[in-house]
Structure 1
């Protein structure tokens, strides 16, 4: 049995009774539907073997409505371990680009970031190249950037806090920097954070990052390590990210979700979120609106 969770775009309520009734009639294999949160989110259960086909069948009936669809085995939908990327996933910005803006190099650094996240260039040398451009930046600007330029992605706090309230473990695993992941993970409510260390002397960046670099392999290793620590089956894990350095982590997770992701990542991931906020990852686990811990 597969379950397809339909979630409206952020701030909208598009999954109404009429739509569910039509899907129940027209989508092959449908057994039943269930409302999760008014017209915001609902489930469709189907006797089907191909998740991508079920997603396509439902999508064809939506007439372009701004609704995301997450399909997975119904029996293992509830997750006990959640790993998340930070930049452009749990927050709306790329922190290294915001640091570069301080020295007037945002456009240059953002271009390198975009290519790395698309998988066009290797992550680690691209990170070292960008960090070198930050030499001389005072670390004191980080607090200002977090205060004035960083925005938390809607639904992120609710996602993390609801999972933790129900016994789940949550980790922010980023190719970014500890000076950002520390305060941001605390603001969202993660159990832990892992990321890269910017080297500095007297509070001034040296233009270097400590080894080893937290990149694609480190994100994958974090998932496997935490899964093993808690004795979890692979299907009890979930990960979300947007860039090429998230691909291995997303592929290893029981549910790997591409969030407003680069094209190659969206194609490779098990599920895609392009319109809904991060509470969609609670609905996908079967949580109802009344069970969400509101921030």
Structure 2
């Protein structure tokens, strides 16, 4: 039997839900499945399968276990270019919402952020509206927000550093701000970062952002630009995000992953990760736990 694809099963890390019984149920749901390869005991495994394997049947067989499931081509799984969104993806927060809290505007700004990330309103005007509400806020609050409120998403550093150790170029590309992407990209280990520039006047936010705004189309353009510069095929690229402004980038990538994403994004991406941490992106590529770079 020629197994052209693999089914990848990834547990919520704390649950370690990938038991022998779960693996047996998965194999039974996959016609002509091969022997499982354990990537991390209790957490991740891959099962050789044939093209056209029914992912919905597989999910149904494994419910209600806290597992993410993907069916991917067996060849070309390890990527050579990685682009990642920042807010609510590589970090657990939305930076503009945290800044707005210092201006007493967090509920209002967070509501706009949520609508923009769900694709209910256009990203660029929503960003201008939110930035205008920050006018007069001292620039010094950025350091406090980073120190006290911004936390990397579990598994992010291992994801980036493992891929870099295998020669992958990594880019943090965000509709947020350079004041945050600079420190965050350095802390996690990205090669580079791109985002928006908040304008400052006499040590305070001017309430404006430099144009053109880096949004959905700019993220897509960044992926295409880097892919071309590196001489890569589309299939050799990986992107991850959670919001509507990530959709074009995720769709263009060889593997686009919706990470704990808004419904529209989760429904559209090649793969959705709802339970695993960011190391799930390594398991999707066939990396075993012992290959991770801490």
Same-fold call, TM cutoff 0.5: yes
How far is 1:164 from its partner?
0.2
In structure 1, the residue matched to 2:181 is 181
How far is 1:278 from its partner?
0.3
In structure 2, the residue matched to 1:151 is 151
The answer to whether the Cα contact below 8 Å between 1:219 and 1:246 also exists between their aligned partners in 2 is yes
Does residue 4 (structure 1) correspond to residue 7 (structure 2)? The answer is: yes
The answer to whether the Cα contact below 8 Å between 1:220 and 1:248 also exists between their aligned partners in 2 is yes
State which drifts further: 18-27 or 180-189.
Answer: 18-27
Q: Deviations over 1:4-55 (max 9, x none)?
A: 2111103231112232223223322423321111111000111123xxx632
How far is 1:270 from its partner?
0.5
Q: Secondary structure at the match of 2:181?
A: helix
How far apart, CA to CA, are the structure 1 residues paired with 2:81 and 2:32?
30
Residue pairs, 1:260-275, within 5 angstroms: 260-275=260-275
In structure 2, the residue matched to 1:15 is 18
How far is 1:61 from its partner?
1.1
In structure 2, the residue matched to 1:205 is 205
Residue pairs, 1:198-277, within 5 angstroms: 198-277=198-277
How far apart, CA to CA, are the structure 1 residues paired with 2:291 and 2:124?
40
How far apart, CA to CA, are the structure 1 residues paired with 2:106 and 2:269?
29
How far is 1:174 from its partner?
0.1
How far apart, CA to CA, are the structure 2 residues paired with 1:226 and 1:256?
16
| Structure 2 unmatched ranges of 5 or more | none
How far apart, CA to CA, are the structure 2 residues paired with 1:186 and 1:55?
37
Q: Deviations over 1:175-212 (max 9, x none)?
A: 00000000000000000000000000122100000011
How far apart, CA to CA, are the structure 2 residues paired with 1:206 and 1:38?
52
State which drifts further: 259-268 or 53-62.
Answer: 53-62
Q: Deviations over 1:136-195 (max 9, x none)?
A: 011111010011011110000000000000100100000000000000000000000000
Q: Secondary structure at the match of 2:34?
A: strand
Number of aligned positions between the proteins? 291
In structure 1, the residue matched to 2:136 is 136
The answer to whether the Cα contact below 8 Å between 1:257 and 1:269 also exists between their aligned partners in 2 is yes
- Aligned structure 1 segments of 4 or more residues deviating by more than 3 angstroms: none
In structure 1, the residue matched to 2:105 is 105
Q: Secondary structure at the match of 2:54?
A: helix
The answer to whether the Cα contact below 8 Å between 1:31 and 1:47 also exists between their aligned partners in 2 is no
* Aligned residue among 26, 32, 38 for 2:35: 32
* Aligned residue among 44, 47, 51 for 2:50: 47
TM-score, structure 2 as length reference: 0.97
| Structure 1 unmatched ranges of 5 or more | none
How far apart, CA to CA, are the structure 2 residues paired with 1:121 and 1:25?
44
